[in-house]
Amino acid sequence: MSAVGSIEVRRALISVSDKTGIVEFANALAAIGIEIISTGGTYRLLQENKISVTEVSEYTDFPEMMDGRLKTLHPKVHGGILGRRGQDDQVMQDNGILPIDLVIVNLYPFKDTVSRPDCSIDTAIENIDIGGPTMVRAAAKNYAHTCIVVDPRDYSGVLADIRRDKGWLSAHLRFSLAAKAFAHTAEYDGLISNYLGAIAAANEQLEDADNTDLNLRSVREAGKRVFPGTHSMQFVKKQDLRHGENPHQEGAFYVEADNTEPGVASSTQLQGKALSFNNIADTDAALECVKPYADPACVIVKHANPCGVALGADLLQAYDLAYQTDPTSAFGGIIAFNREVESDTAREILDRQFVEVVVAPSFSEDAIKTFARKPNIRVLACGELVNVRQTALDYKRVTGGLLIQDRDLGIVSEDDVRTVTKREPTEQEMDDMLFAWEVAKFVKSNAIVYARQRRTIGIGAGQMSRVYSAKIANIKAGDEGLKIAGSVMASDAFFPFKDGIEAAARVGITAIIQPGGSIRDDEVIAAADAHDIAMVFTGMRHFRH
């Protein structure tokens, strides 16, 4: 950064769509003696509140026109913002341009507008702000001589800075606000580009390419996702990380600015060491896995895979059962719960195991006190597990590219599955199969999950062959002294051969849930019938990579 110092603020231009806090802010600026220029609606609001203000059209001697398409797009505005004090003074003076030292602008609410289901293309287009971003970019570029404020949450900081130095604004605040301003316009343009790009893609796919409103409606009604030609997105840094997945990799954690869904990004850390890259990734895996359950549930995750999942009468029981699936792997794991953790569960965790992270919607005061006995443990409160977005996207980086898809929120109920064997599953088997199926969704492929009475008995994850995943589930259950006989089995994808079914029969699996769809389904079903196994097809696959 070249050396720039504080600037004296004598004149501010205010043009805001979101008028939150603007009256108070403008009032305080006026009280300091700062002259205010403002656009139509903002001008009227300030005037109504008895704040001394000049309308921008009076300053430019040019009326606002074209329903607001032209308000501030005038050399007297942009010259006042862009002029370099000490260098452009003469030309400004010659042309009647007054220096504008403080620019307070926020933009037409494009995102809110297009999120309304009845928004037409014309309404969307009229809500693309042109004059606002032009001023924002100009003021941010000329941060050496002006200050740009795009966020009402920054009003108090700016005011404090001006008051501290009796009417002067510091260079470092102006610089950081300039960087924020460019992030703001980049996000704004990204939203517009995604929106218009998706419509352009829809126009290409649908019959009447010129009837954009019709195409918008049919895409919406079909509930179909249309991917734009270019995909823009923006994340905001939450924290720097000590390192990435490994110590030789640098890392940081970025979140969506307007995320409202409870998850690792929304969590508040109540205690413990700083979160690592792997802690965050594993906490996400654990929380996503525990979210779907209505009954008290516990998920223990290691290296992004659940190693124990259970439902219980209460969280203590759910934890106990989840832990028992695989105590060896649970050591140093991430434990997630789907409701408030009480002190009994907290005590049991501390007495029983070494844990990296405990995450839950909330913790009772006593539970917080209990965890404080081991201050290194990271305890995260993520808030009530509501507002799960049904429209969220899932991203995966590949070298030189990005894969985008809908998040796997597919849920299967008893009504959705089809029994394909002679024997129907018992009620208990059906309940366990649906539980195991939900777990399998969060286990890396190939995923095999054994479960009995709403708890996992053995989990085989991430193997290149389904049969080997089953072998691992066997070994784990055996090593922990858990009886497989009488359990059900979930498989994230179909069995290509009957050998998987025969292996399951040998260890005493009584019911199987799987997508079906193999060309050898007949052989697979016959093998299940031969062993009196009940088998249901979900028609839905849950690969996870």
Ligand X SMILES: NC(=O)c1ncn([C@@H]2O[C@H](COP(=O)(O)O)[C@@H](O)[C@H]2O)c1NC=O
Q: Which stretch binds ligand X (CB under 6 A): 40-48, 276-284, 318-326, 484-492?
A: 40-48
How far apart are the C-alpha atoms of 349 and 358, rounded to whole Å?
9
Nearer to ligand X, 70 or 200 (CB): 70
DSSP 70: B
DSSP 97: P
Residue 16 within binding range of ligand X, rule CB under 6 A: yes
Find the shortest distance in angstroms from Cβ 24 to ligand X. Answer: 17
Six-digit token string for 106: 């926020």
Alpha helix (H) residue ranges in 65-150: 75-82, 89-94, 110-115, 121-126, 131-141
Site track for ligand X across 494-533, x = CB under 6 A? ----------------------------------------
When binding is defined by CB under 6 A, the residue of 4, 30, 130, 255 that contacts ligand X is: 130
The question of whether 243 is a catalytic residue gets the answer no
Task: Report the relative pairing of strands 511-514 and 534-537 from DSSP bridges.
Answer: parallel
Nearer to ligand X, 45 or 513 (CB): 45
Strand, helix or coil for residue 119: coil
Give whole-number Cα distances, 511 to 426, 454, 482, 489, 523, in Å. Answer: 9, 14, 17, 6, 16
Find the shortest distance in angstroms from Cβ 72 to ligand X. Answer: 4
Segment 133-172, which members bind ligand X (CB under 6 A)? Answer: none
Query: 474: cis peptide before it, omega within 30°?
Result: no
Q: Which stretch binds ligand X (CB under 6 A): 9-17, 186-194, 202-210, 247-255?
A: 9-17
Find the shortest distance in angstroms from Cβ 129 to ligand X. Answer: 5
Nearer to ligand X, 77 or 275 (CB): 77
Residue 325 within binding range of ligand X, rule CB under 6 A: no
Cβ burial, residue 153 (10 Å; 0-12/13-18/19+): exposed
Residue 316 CA, chain-centre distance (Å), reads 30
Nearer to ligand X, 43 or 337 (CB): 43
Which segments within 388-514 are labelled E, that is strand? Answer: 393-398, 401-406, 418-419, 448-451, 456-460, 488-491, 511-514
Six-digit token string for 540: 């839905």
Q: Name the helix (H) or strand (E) containing 189.
A: helix 171-205
Three-state secondary structure readout of 358-373 = EEECCECHHHHHHHCC
Residue 289 CA, chain-centre distance (Å), reads 16
Q: Which stretch binds ligand X (CB under 6 A): 11-19, 265-273, 383-391, 411-419?
A: 11-19
Site for ligand X (CB under 6 A): how many residues? 21
Residue 185 within binding range of ligand X, rule CB under 6 A: no
CB of 447 within 8 A of CB of 440? Answer: yes
Six-digit token string for 236: 């905001």
How far apart are the C-alpha atoms of 469 and 69, rounded to whole Å?
62
Find the shortest distance in angstroms from Cβ 91 to ligand X. Answer: 22
Residue 232 within binding range of ligand X, rule CB under 6 A: no
Cβ burial, residue 344 (10 Å; 0-12/13-18/19+): middle
How far apart are the C-alpha atoms of 105 and 77, rounded to whole Å?
13
Nearer to ligand X, 161 or 187 (CB): 187
Find the shortest distance in angstroms from Cβ 138 to ligand X. Answer: 12
Q: Which residue has the tokens 């079906």?
A: 516
Nearer to ligand X, 149 or 489 (CB): 149
CB of 491 within 8 A of CB of 447? Answer: yes
Residue 203 within binding range of ligand X, rule CB under 6 A: no
Residue 68 within binding range of ligand X, rule CB under 6 A: yes
Nearer to ligand X, 46 or 443 (CB): 46
> One of 180, 231, 273, 303 is an active-site residue; which one?
303
Nearer to ligand X, 83 or 131 (CB): 131
Residue 71 within binding range of ligand X, rule CB under 6 A: yes
Strand, helix or coil for residue 352: helix
Nearer to ligand X, 80 or 333 (CB): 80
When binding is defined by CB under 6 A, the residue of 4, 8, 17, 111 that contacts ligand X is: 17
Find the shortest distance in angstroms from Cβ 39 to ligand X. Answer: 4
The question of whether 422 is a catalytic residue gets the answer no
Q: Name the helix (H) or strand (E) containing 106.
A: strand 102-106
When binding is defined by CB under 6 A, the residue of 9, 12, 13, 15 that contacts ligand X is: 15
Residue 73 within binding range of ligand X, rule CB under 6 A: yes
Site track for ligand X across 74-113, x = CB under 6 A? -------------------------------xxxx-----
Residue 72 within binding range of ligand X, rule CB under 6 A: yes
- Please report the sign of the dihedral spanned by the C-alpha atoms of residue 45, residue 46, residue 49, residue 52: negative
Find the shortest distance in angstroms from Cβ 131 to ligand X. Answer: 2
Q: Which stretch binds ligand X (CB under 6 A): 37-45, 294-302, 389-397, 485-493?
A: 37-45
Q: Name the helix (H) or strand (E) containing 72.
A: none
> One of 19, 141, 273, 531 is an active-site residue; which one?
141
Which residue numbers are catalytic? 141, 303
Binding site for ligand X (CB under 6 A): 15-17, 39-42, 68-73, 105-108, 129-132
